[in-house]
Structure 1
């Protein structure tokens, strides 16, 4: 009775009717629970598509493609807690510190990341259930495995940065001409991080063509962002270039893994595992390889660490230089502090003693957080402490399946917390600022980034070395900061500056 077209049309109508009925049932259940728990409603994004929220999806994609994503979020967040339908999923967006604390610590048992990253296969072509993609016991095992390597002994060893930073400085023009520090910082970080993680530097500062792992990781991170957003519609998407980038990184890591296992076998025969300079191996891969006999599981742990750390320090350094180049008085004050340190050997303790440098880095973290937001899936019904009701102070109901986005970019620029100059680069504010959960550049609670001290130390070291080497930094680009979303916001126009020779 029905042709193929008729059957397809009927099937589509049945799917739509099912989604509408399901939405009605969810709404009724939500209202009953909300009233029982004493929660209040929050504002909702109202568009024409009440089933899948395609209008809101389109607005997000358009903002990302035009590099206006942060501006879009700021304009859309007319209140500090609100909700929207994104491809049929209820999203709760918050810029309230108490809600960040809730999903990280006080109500953490209600929230997880595995449903977002693993359940629909969004990240599994690249990595498995590791520290950045799992919950529960699996996450605890991965965390316990990697955390000892990010202890004080690791991040206080600033000597490992010296040779790479010397090469970075050698690439900077000494005649006052402009240089784009963003790609140089990317290559510097690739060199330092590959040596730290795998015991062998990519040495891309010596040969730019060696930065293929960096370019592949950028491609992978861009693809992961899209795949995570597609959620249950991921089956409609296929990106062959992304899969090829994943395969190249896998082969790159497999080479390092094979070498580590080979050296472990030789170690059993009495042959020590040494670097080319004769020093015993002590890198991250070597530390965990002996504990993980399965090469695929070992690769999962490596990719799980590389995902959140990729570009983190390079973005932080280049964003800090971008801000300094536009604030000569800050540069002058910071350089005076650095020069007072004198010619004594640079140590971790010495870096930590530089108060104004610490203020500068905090202010850079505040304005340009390397991780834009903390995202968690609600794994069982629960509440957020604030955001509901007309005054925004009542608790908010979260039901299983909701996705909570806590936006640190907006939290860090909230004038109610930071004052009327919240959009300005003012390191002096840190003389008195005690923001607690309003300032969480690395997250908080048990899942706080284990490498936070390392990131700050590496950036401190580079800024110190640059301002001891050069007497000033000048902006050579009048373009405003235009964020491109990768791990965090990096400037579309790079970091074009000039250094004044001492």
Structure 2
């Protein structure tokens, strides 16, 4: 086996991976730096400041990690207590099956999906104080929770019903957040993930499962009753695809149905919610960007409470809005850190040798981590101002062929299925709030912290640890 690996390495020109420039025995100085960054709630800044000095810096590596030589590795057992088996924890045939189940939801239901987004955004607007200071972060997560529940269960579980499903939606949200925090820490423990399995974690998992179980039961009961009574006149879609109903046609196993729903809920609620809160946080701190965006929205759809909400064609014409969202996702990608595990003897294209430009041998069972957050801040790709929020960098052709150096929604076979829906939800929400509110500012007295230096909460996604507190006025 060793001789075969050596021959493989020689044939592919592999060189040893560059060693971490540690000055203490066993690399303890690096461990200290990790703890310091973590205590400051800036762990991702560690990757930007330290890892880029020695890690394999090439978008070719990210591309390589999406193909058949790699699996999710420890993700499945690490995440299983919360998510079970679903699109985020599966490989191979099981993963393809889950993906095929979900795809029709985004392909067949575009009209109904947009109507639901419009309705939920209006609910968000009505929840914002008309003249005061508000934390948009919980409202953004509530919005994306509502739209994702619609994706899963259709009209059968309405917002009014959620409180009756399992106590209150806020109880589920707290449990879901707690569970994700535990998953993040379990992930950092590597093969020792099983050490973190205390009562708080188990209770959070139980609450999440109970909530979804109740929603599934209600959705199926409502759907069955509707079919007995005939279709509603308000239903303008003849054959609407409902995810939970499609699941039931495949299996009657309640745990399988719950697992698939939780996987989708994780993707729909958290990634899009984070994108929204980062967008408003950045706009409030970059008034020149907000002013240009407001001018574009005024030109296309008009401003003010009485202005007609933008339709899908309007959103496509808002080119600067799309550049703003693209820049937000560059600085705060949906999944900032990820990893894969080799399933067979393979290589990474670069990272070996003194200059880091030679291939690296990767043995079966070895893990490879990659940080999209750090890659998106590389000055050799995005320029000397890579750490700054500047949507204009996407104008022109300088980044036209950026390829795998920009991965807001992953890439390859695991490219996010809900990308179009997420971008539609984000662009409409931002456009509508900028249209309705004449002022979105940082509250008086709040410090203007440099982009990337704010306190961050890192779970499976990255959110602001300080919320998204802004001053808003219609």
TM-score band w.r.t. shorter chain: 0.7 to 0.9
Cα separation, partners in 2 of 1:144 and 1:78, compared to 1, 3 Å: closer
Between 492-501 and 322-331, report the one with greater CA deviation: 492-501
Tell me the distance in 1 between the aligned counterparts of 2:382 and 2:280.
22
Tell me the distance in 1 between the aligned counterparts of 2:124 and 2:177.
21
Post-superposition offset of 1:411: 1.2
1:314 to 2:273 alignment: yes
Q: How does 1:166-315 map to 2 (within 5 A)?
A: 166-175=122-131, 177-199=132-154, 200-202=157-159, 210-263=169-222, 266=225, 270-272=228-230, 283-315=242-274
Tell me the distance in 1 between the aligned counterparts of 2:265 and 2:25.
38
1:487 to 2:460 alignment: yes
Decide whether the 8 Å contact of 2:71 with 2:340 is kept in 1: yes
Decide whether the 8 Å contact of 2:437 with 2:472 is kept in 1: yes
Tell me the distance in 2 between the aligned counterparts of 1:185 and 1:308.
14
2:38 to 64, 75, 89: 64
Tell me the distance in 2 between the aligned counterparts of 1:291 and 1:365.
35
Decide whether the 8 Å contact of 1:149 with 1:287 is kept in 2: no
Name structure 2 gaps, 5 residues minimum. 302-306
Tell me the distance in 2 between the aligned counterparts of 1:156 and 1:274.
14
1:328 to 2:287 alignment: yes
> Any idea what SS the aligned residue of 1:122 has?
helix
Decide whether the 8 Å contact of 2:144 with 2:273 is kept in 1: yes
Rg bigger for which structure?
1
Post-superposition offset of 1:267: 6.7
1:116 maps to 74
Q: How does 1:399-478 map to 2 (within 5 A)?
A: 399-432=363-396, 433-434=399-400, 435-476=402-443, 477-478=446-447
Name structure 1 gaps, 5 residues minimum. 1-24, 82-93
Q: Where in structure 1 do 4 or more consecutive aligned residues deviate above 6 Å?
A: 204-208, 277-281
Number of aligned pairs? 453
Deviation readout 1:365-413 (Å, 9 max, x if unpaired): 0111121023111111101112222332211111111111121111111
Tell me the distance in 2 between the aligned counterparts of 1:274 and 1:251.
30
Higher relative contact order (CA 8 A, sep 6+): 2
1:389 to 353, 363, 386: 353
1:129 to 2:82 alignment: no
1:354 to 2:310 alignment: no
Cα RMSD, aligned residues only = 3.0
Instruction: Give TM-score scaled by structure 1 length.
Output: 0.82
Tell me the distance in 1 between the aligned counterparts of 2:319 and 2:460.
28
Tell me the distance in 1 between the aligned counterparts of 2:133 and 2:23.
47
> Any idea what SS the aligned residue of 1:497 has?
strand
1:369 to 2:333 alignment: yes
